[in-house]
Amino acid sequence: MTTKVLICDDSSFARKQMKRALPPEWEVDVSFAGDGVEGLEQIRQGNGEVVFLDLTMPNLDGYGVLEVIRKEDLPAMVLVVSGDIQPDAQERVRKLGAMAFIKKPIDADKARTVLTEYGILTEA
């Protein structure tokens, strides 16, 4: 079954890095968003079953996206991928309902570990 994955980050380099880090055997349909507003649009269209979400973004930041997802009860499993790794940031996103917090820079090992830990990626 193909999983709809959304990568939401204002940096095109970071989006590319994130896509490259996804396990090659994972069957996914990847969409991209450059800020929180675009991200929510994609999630509402059903393109974000699993969302890799950056925190610092223009228009609407990652915290804002998490708040809307919770308020509207949108179907999205959110994994925050952030350069802001301060204890406060990690605590705040967990309280807002993010499943996991991944420290940038992302790489294939980190992505695989988290996806396996939360049962998103199951061993074939």
Q: CB of residue 65 vs another protein: minimum separation in angstroms?
A: 17
Q: What is the CA radius of gyration of the chain?
A: 13
How many whole angstroms separate alpha carbon 37 and alpha carbon 76? Answer: 15
Closer Cβ to another protein, 46 or 103, answer by number: 103
- What are the respective helix, strand and coil percentages of the chain, to the nearest 5? 40, 20, 40
Contact at 8 Å (CB) between 99 and 118?
A: yes
Q: Which stretch binds another protein (CB under 8 A): 8-16, 41-49, 65-73, 108-116?
A: 8-16
Site pattern 63..92 for another protein (x: CB under 8 A): -------------------xxxxxxxx---
Q: Does 13 bind another protein (CB under 8 A)?
A: yes
Q: Which residues pair with 5 in a beta bridge?
A: 30, 50
**In 3D, which of 86, 88, 87, 26 has the Cα closest to residue 52?**
26
Closer Cβ to another protein, 20 or 41, answer by number: 20
- Please count the residues of this chain forming the interface with another protein, following the rule CB under 8 A: 17
Give the SS3 label for residue 3.
strand
How many whole angstroms separate alpha carbon 94 and alpha carbon 90? Answer: 6
Site pattern 38..67 for another protein (x: CB under 8 A): ------------------x-----------
Q: Does 105 bind another protein (CB under 8 A)?
A: yes
Q: What residues make contact with another protein under the rule CB under 8 A?
A: 11-14, 16-17, 56, 82-89, 104-105
